[in-house]
């Protein structure tokens, strides 16, 4: 337990140090790609909880991201500026004040996304089969059209002027949290219950796993982190537009976790980073960019249909010996 | 455990109708604590349907199923499992992609005290649960001589051991009554012999009642204390093996002349 506290503190310090260092060391273009990598990691790893570990098929992740993005933006733009003024007046450093506002906005955005997840998941996850896919597909579109028609958040014009509070520290911290939560779950009886549902729902139920409760819980947690990713996204770009959160965004996240290997946390991380960098790296070949992107995906699907890592995990030299949650077919 | 006259499991005039088909009709059946009861009958007689009724997969159209004092009608399968009823499946339903150890651990799930939240943050409570579950699962694998394959994927086990693993998994739920659906299907004679001993052994060691569906008459006649015969969803005979073996209606419907 003590070693864990030390690890946590060291990790936080490292994040703070990198937060100071990176914006100066990298040019703004690379730094932006780095931040987007982090946000996509949060999205992919959180979706992996539902699609990868619990074996349900959700295709509405962009909807939850949108809820988190818009809610947090409204919170920090309309509700909390007063708090920032009060904190500055009380002598709190500006960076800390921004951090507090961002944290609160992120939590509210995540909470609302989680609530939406509960509302969507409760009816559709009681059933077995593809109902969730259909419902989440509809849900994502409903959210987008809803935002498009709410004038208070800019409608089709988009919402500009979101305070630019997201930095490397917060993106890194949340990515760390969602990855840690995934691994912790995998090492616990609750994560195993999720895997059991993926493997055989009827057997899981017969062995005493309350399947509906686990499916809904995983879905709500996943929605929360999608909301968090949305909030970080909003406070990084300072501008939101409903067209960012289309069905295609959801598919993009699904592509990441399928490519990484459904169920593999490190695979999701790896693929999220790769698929964020790849389109940028391919800018050099201009009009062939999307052709090559698609071709690479097809080649990967043919050569590694189980995804980059299959259901296995990358073994880090520093990972503890007992952290072998899955029977790894060695990740060659 | 109540060792008095009260049955552990009692089916009281239970029927289920699928469209125009009466799959199980007016079935009365008791299993007493510690008893080993066989359920036999030709293919399609409704034996597995009876299991599905007991475990809550289907809801009876009429009649009452009781486990001890509790009425099982309309309960979700996982709550029925929590009461102490565990089953195996006719076509094994292992968690194929997971290790044997994890298969058993999942079944020990209901005894964990820590919450999902604990699991998310790997709290000391969660770690305590994990140690207890791990210990229990390894002990069970050991009891069923499966410890050598603890880390093997369930799908990679030979068939006979998959059946064994399914029994280990069912035992991890701490059942009072074990429902075995054709555990000897597809086994060779040696494996079948070993299985018979295993069932007897497990029943005594864990003080279980067992309800057994099986087509291998050597197994059924050899270890069951009582046998019920099902044909077209109707119980046509019930009694001790020696009596069932000579029952004319059972011979006509199922056993055939040469066994008699």
Parallel, antiparallel, or unpaired for β B177-181 and B85-87?
Answer: parallel
Measure the CA–CA gap between A223 and A204, rounded to whole angstroms.
24
- Boundary of a domain, candidates B168, B196, B214: B168
Query: Do residue B45 and residue B101 come from a single domain?
Result: no
Using CA coordinates, name the residue in chain B closest to A205: B78
Q: Which helix (H) or strand (E) holds A332?
A: none
Q: Does residue B131 fall inside a structural domain?
A: yes
Query: Do residue B35 and residue B53 come from a single domain?
Result: yes
Query: SS3 for B70?
Result: strand
**Residues 173 to 202 of B: which have CB under 8 A from any A CB?**
173
Given an 8 Å threshold on Cβ–Cβ distance, is A185 in contact with B129?
Answer: no
pLDDT, residue B188, reads 87
**Strand segments (E) across chain A:** 159-160, 239-240
A208, A261, A323: which to substitute to probe chain B, counting the most B Cβ within 10 Å? A208
Q: Is A45 on the interface with B (CB under 8 A)?
A: no
Residues in B closer than 8 angstroms to A193, CB to CB, are 106, 109
Query: Do residue B41 and residue B108 come from a single domain?
Result: no
Position B3 pLDDT exceeds 60:
no
Query: Do residue B78 and residue B186 come from a single domain?
Result: yes
Q: Does residue B91 fall inside a structural domain?
A: no
pLDDT, residue A318, reads 52
Query: Do residue B164 and residue B192 come from a single domain?
Result: no
Answer yes or no: are the C-beta atoms of A231 and A42 closer than 8 Å.
no
Query: Do residue B113 and residue B134 come from a single domain?
Result: yes
Query: Do residue B51 and residue B164 come from a single domain?
Result: no
Q: Which helix (H) or strand (E) holds A304?
A: none
Residue B5: DSSP 8-state = S
CA distance B48 to chain A (A): 14
The b/e string for A145-169 (b: 16+ C-beta within 10 A; e otherwise) is: eebbeeeebbeeeebeebbebbbbb
Mean local confidence (pLDDT), B191-202: 91
Domains: count for chain B:
2
Q: Does residue B90 fall inside a structural domain?
A: no
Query: Do residue B61 and residue B133 come from a single domain?
Result: no
CA distance B140 to chain A (A): 15
Query: Do residue B66 and residue B185 come from a single domain?
Result: yes
Domain of B154, in residue numbers: 96-168
- Boundary of a domain, candidates B116, B148, B168: B168
Q: Does residue B230 fall inside a structural domain?
A: yes
A189, A190, A320: which to substitute to probe chain B, counting the most B Cβ within 10 Å? A189
pLDDT tens track for B206-246: 999 999 999 999 899 999 999 999 999 999 999 999 999 99
Measure the CA–CA gap between A48 and A56, rounded to whole angstroms.
10
Residues in A closer than 8 angstroms to B100, CB to CB, are none
Using CA coordinates, name the residue in chain A closest to B122: A184
Mean local confidence (pLDDT), B179-201: 90
pLDDT, residue A316, reads 60
Per-residue pLDDT of chain A (332 residues; tens, 9 = 90+): 588 899 999 999 999 999 999 988 999 999 999 999 999 999 999 999 999 999 999 999 999 999 999 999 999 998 888 888 888 888 888 888 899 999 999 999 999 999 999 999 999 888 777 888 999 999 999 999 999 999 898 888 999 999 999 999 999 999 999 999 999 999 999 999 999 999 999 999 999 999 999 999 999 999 999 999 999 999 999 999 999 999 999 999 999 999 898 889 999 999 999 999 988 888 888 788 778 888 888 888 888 888 887 777 876 655 544 444 444 343 33
Query: Do residue B69 and residue B100 come from a single domain?
Result: no
Range of lowest pLDDT (A53-57, A309-313, B58-62, B178-182): A309-313
Tokens of A253: 């996240």
Given an 8 Å threshold on Cβ–Cβ distance, is A206 in contact with B87?
Answer: yes
A3, A180, A188: which to substitute to probe chain B, counting the most B Cβ within 10 Å? A188
Query: Do residue B205 and residue B141 come from a single domain?
Result: no
Given an 8 Å threshold on Cβ–Cβ distance, is B106 in contact with A196?
Answer: yes
Q: Which residue in B95, B119, B126 is closest to A203 by CB distance?
A: B95
Answer yes or no: are the C-beta atoms of A147 and A242 closer than 8 Å.
yes
Q: Does residue B139 fall inside a structural domain?
A: yes
Q: Is B107 on the interface with A (CB under 8 A)?
A: yes
Q: State the CB neighbour count (10 A cutoff) for residue A63.
A: 33
Measure the CA–CA gap between A68 and B38, rounded to whole angstroms.
58
Measure the CA–CA gap between A231 and A162, rounded to whole angstroms.
10
Measure the CA–CA gap between A326 and A310, rounded to whole angstroms.
11
Residues in B closer than 8 angstroms to A187, CB to CB, are 122, 130
Position B8 pLDDT exceeds 90:
no
Using CA coordinates, name the residue in chain B closest to A126: B76
Measure the CA–CA gap between A214 and B119, rounded to whole angstroms.
12
DSSP B89-158: -SS----TTSBHHHHHHHHTGGG--S-HHHHHHT-HHHHHHHHHHHHHHHHHHHHTT-GGGTTSBGGGS-
Q: Is B126 on the interface with A (CB under 8 A)?
A: yes
A127, A192, A310: which to substitute to probe chain B, counting the most B Cβ within 10 Å? A192
Q: State the CB neighbour count (10 A cutoff) for residue A314.
A: 15
Q: Does residue B89 fall inside a structural domain?
A: no
Measure the CA–CA gap between B189 and B181, rounded to whole angstroms.
18
Tokens of A276: 């964020």
- Boundary of a domain, candidates B168, B191, B223: B168
Given an 8 Å threshold on Cβ–Cβ distance, is A190 in contact with B108?
Answer: no
Query: The domain spanning residue B38 has which CATH number?
Result: 3.40.50.300
Given an 8 Å threshold on Cβ–Cβ distance, is B97 in contact with A205?
Answer: no
Query: Do residue B10 and residue B138 come from a single domain?
Result: no
Query: SS3 for B47?
Result: helix
Confidence of residue B111 (pLDDT cuts 50, 70, 90): confident
Q: Does residue B22 fall inside a structural domain?
A: yes
Measure the CA–CA gap between A241 and A248, rounded to whole angstroms.
14
């Amino acid at each position: 337990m003590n070693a864990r506290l030390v690890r946590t503190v060291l990790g936080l310090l490292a994040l703070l140090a990198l937060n100071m260092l990176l914006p100066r060391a990298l040019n703004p273009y690379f730094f932006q790609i780095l931040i987007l990598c982090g946000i996509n990691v949060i999205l992919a790893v959180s979706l992996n909880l539902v699609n990868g570990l619990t074996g349900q098929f959700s295709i509405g992740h962009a909807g939850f991201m949108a809820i988190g993005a818009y809610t947090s933006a409204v919170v920090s733009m309309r509700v909390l500026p007063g708090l920032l003024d009060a904190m500055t007046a009380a002598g709190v450093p500006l960076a800390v004040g921004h951090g507090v506002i961002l944290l609160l906005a992120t939590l509210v955005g995540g909470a609302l996304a989680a609530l939406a997840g509960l509302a969507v998941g409760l009816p559709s996850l009681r059933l077995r089969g593809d109902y969730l896919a259909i419902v989440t597909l509809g849900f994502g579109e409903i959210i987008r059209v809803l935002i498009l028609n709410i004038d208070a958040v800019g409608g089709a014009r988009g919402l500009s002027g979101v305070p630019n509070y997201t930095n490397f520290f917060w993106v890194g911290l949340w990515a760390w949290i969602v990855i840690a939560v995934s691994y912790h779950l995998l090492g616990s009886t609750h994560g195993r219950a999720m895997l059991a549902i993926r493997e055989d729902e009827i057997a899981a139920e017969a062995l005493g796993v309350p399947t509906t409760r686990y499916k809904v819980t995983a879905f709500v947690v996943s929605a929360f982190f999608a909301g968090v990713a949305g909030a970080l996204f909003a406070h990084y770009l300072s501008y939101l537009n409903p067209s960012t959160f289309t069905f295609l965004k959801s598919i993009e996240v699904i592509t990441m976790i399928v490519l990484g290997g459904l169920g593999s946390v490190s695979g999701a991380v790896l693929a999220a980073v790769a698929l964020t960098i790849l389109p940028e790296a391919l800018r050099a070949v201009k009009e062939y960019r999307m052709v090559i992107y698609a071709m690479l995906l097809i080649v990967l699907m043919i050569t590694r249909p189980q995804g980059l890592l299959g259901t296995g995990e990358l073994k880090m030299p520093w990972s503890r010996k007992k952290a072998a949650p899955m029977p790894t077919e060695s990740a060659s | 455990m109540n060792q008095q006259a009260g049955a552990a499991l009692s089916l009281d005039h239970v029927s289920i109708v699928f469209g125009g088909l009466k799959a199980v009709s007016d079935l009365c059946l008791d299993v007493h604590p510690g008893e080993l009861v066989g359920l036999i009958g030709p293919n399609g007689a409704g034996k597995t349907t009876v299991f599905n009724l007991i475990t809550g997969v289907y809801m009876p159209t009429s009649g009452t199923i009781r486990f001890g004092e509790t009425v099982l009608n309309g309960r979700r399968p996982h709550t029925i499992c929590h009461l102490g009823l565990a089953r195996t499946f006719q076509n094994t339903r292992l968690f194929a992609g997971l290790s044997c150890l994890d298969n058993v651990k999942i079944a020990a799930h209901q005894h964990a005290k820590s919450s999902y939240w604990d699991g998310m943050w790997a709290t000391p409570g969660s770690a305590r649960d994990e140690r207890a579950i791990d210990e229990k699962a390894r002990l069970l694998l050991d009891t069923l001589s499966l410890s050598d394959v603890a880390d093997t994927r369930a799908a990679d086990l030979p068939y006979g051991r998959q059946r064994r693993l399914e029994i280990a998994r069912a035992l991890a739920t701490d059942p009072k009554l074990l429902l075995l659906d054709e555990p000897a299907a597809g086994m060779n004679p040696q494996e079948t012999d070993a299985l018979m001993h295993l069932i007897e052994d497990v029943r005594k060691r864990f003080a279980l009642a067992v309800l057994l569906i099986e087509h291998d008459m050597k197994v059924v006649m050899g270890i069951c204390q009582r046998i019920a015969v099902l044909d077209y969803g109707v119980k046509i005979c019930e009694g001790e093996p020696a009596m069932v073996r000579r029952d004319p209606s059972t011979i006509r419907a199922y056993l055939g002349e040469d066994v008699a």
